[in-house]
Amino acid sequence: MAEFNSKDTGAFKGVWVFCEQREGVIMSTSYQLLSEGRKLANDLGVELAGVVLGHNVKEEYLKALGGYGADKVYYCDHELLNVYTTDAYTKVICDLVEEKKPEIFLIGATNIGRDLGPRCAARLHTGLTADCTHLDVDVAKYKEFLKTTSTIDVDNTVFEENTNLKMTRPAFGGHLMATIICPRFRPQMSTVRPGVMQTQAYDEAGAARTVVEKVAVQLSREDIHVDVLEVKKAAKKLVDLIGADVVVSVGRGISKDVEKGLALAEELAGVLGGVVGASRACVDAGWISADHQVGQTGKTVHPRIYVALGISGAIQHKAGMQDSECIIAVNKNESAPIFEVASYGIVGDLYKVAPMLIEAIRTLKASK
């Protein structure tokens, strides 16, 4: 094997997605990334491969990756890959990248992906863009994207034509968006924010077609400098904000009577068939657990209905919910920034408005 040189950009081909598994189960982020990776691979006319590291992962799970667009699955099986360690995963992935040379490598920006990605990029001497929310290779498609999401006068701006991966991500807490490229090194690496990319419909034929290639893993205990003593799931069932159809969130406005505010949010979420979210202020104040947090440092959601009760709408919060289809905001302060993104706004006391809203929706549903 020739020596690996990340600068030899012409030698790299294909799109890869790291498909993270925990306890043998592929994480849903992987399907989102494969679906996105499929589009990029089509634009480039190359193959899309999923990369799975684990131990005794079921064949059907591996094949299923084809249902989300993977032409091929590289499966690295080793008992030391069962549970994630930075050392083991970095070694196995870098060995594989050095051998197969993909041009694009996408990793889900999970707590593990964001540990693994930078370590691999540093070892491979290539660039990595963190926590991306949009990806393009085709300039025309990128321009279309900018037309709806930016203030740039797209038609009167010069864009350098190339097929580099254009990795767009929020910066400065969502105040700015930046599109990053990695023109001189390969692979072009990106961690992608969970919940942002849409998962394509499962394709049976694709699953049947996909080829699983078992990779010979070179790994020993000496390669790993940590001991994982325990992996523990949180006792409480965490709220599934990302998958929710309706999110009713509360903010600092419930400080007057936290218990009542939360109870109202739960009741409203109940009648709408949704879950309760919260702004960072509520989580920081200890009123609600961190898994409910929507926003830049919490979760990005785009439900069908997002109700904001007593949320002022700091830009960090808006970053996590502004793509919701219908936003209903209730806030005492008429100049609260949340109203800038709201589809419907009511200036009023949430303790008064929410019960009326619950009542009115109940009446409506009963009448149907």
Partner 1 sequence: MKAIVCVKQVPDTSGVVAVKEDGTMDRAAMATITNHDDLAAVEAALRIKDATGCKVVVVSMGPPPAEGMLRELLAMGCDEAVLVSAREFGGSDTYATSQILAAAIKKIGVEEDDVIFCGRQAIDGDTAQVGPQIAEKLHVPQVSYVAEITVEGKSVTVKRLLEDGYMTIKVATPCLLTCVKELNPARYMSVGGIMECYQKPLEVYNYETLKDDPLIDVDTIGLKGSPTNVYKSFSPPVKGAGMMLEGADKAAVDKLVGLLDEKHII
Q: Which residue in this structure is represented by tokens 């049947």?
A: 208
294 assigned to a ligand binding site: yes
314 assigned to a ligand binding site: yes
Residue among 46, 180, 45 at smallest CA distance from 126: 180
Residue closer to partner 1 by CB (options 195, 206) is 195
Residue closer to partner 1 by CB (options 32, 210) is 32
Residue closer to partner 1 by CB (options 66, 102) is 102
Q: What's the rounded Cα separation, in Å, for the pair 102 and 100?
A: 6
Residue closer to partner 1 by CB (options 50, 108) is 108
Residue closer to partner 1 by CB (options 207, 347) is 347
What are the φ/ψ torsions at residue 338 (nearest 5 degrees)? -60, -30
Least CB distance from residue 15 to partner 1, whole Å?
A: 18
Least CB distance from residue 120 to partner 1, whole Å?
A: 9
| Whether 99 contacts 183, CB under 8 Å | no
Q: What's the rounded Cα separation, in Å, for the pair 298 and 290?
A: 8
Least CB distance from residue 28 to partner 1, whole Å?
A: 11
296 assigned to a ligand binding site: yes
312 assigned to a ligand binding site: yes
317 assigned to a ligand binding site: yes
Structure tokens at 186: 């390969």
280 assigned to a ligand binding site: yes
Least CB distance from residue 60 to partner 1, whole Å?
A: 23
The sign of the torsion formed by the CA atoms of 170, 176, 177, 179 equals negative
Which spans in 12-108 are helix H? Answer: 28-44, 59-64, 86-100
| Whether 210 contacts 65, CB under 8 Å | yes
45 assigned to a ligand binding site: no
What are the φ/ψ torsions at residue 126 (nearest 5 degrees)? -145, 175
Residue 276 forms beta bridges with which residues?
A: 248
Q: What's the rounded Cα separation, in Å, for the pair 120 and 127?
A: 10
Least CB distance from residue 66 to partner 1, whole Å?
A: 26
Residue closer to partner 1 by CB (options 35, 110) is 110
Residue among 210, 220, 212 at smallest CA distance from 75: 212
66 assigned to a ligand binding site: no
Least CB distance from residue 48 to partner 1, whole Å?
A: 23
Residues belonging to the binding site are: 252, 279-280, 293-297, 310-317, 331
Binding residues for FAD: 252, 279-280, 293-297, 310-317, 331
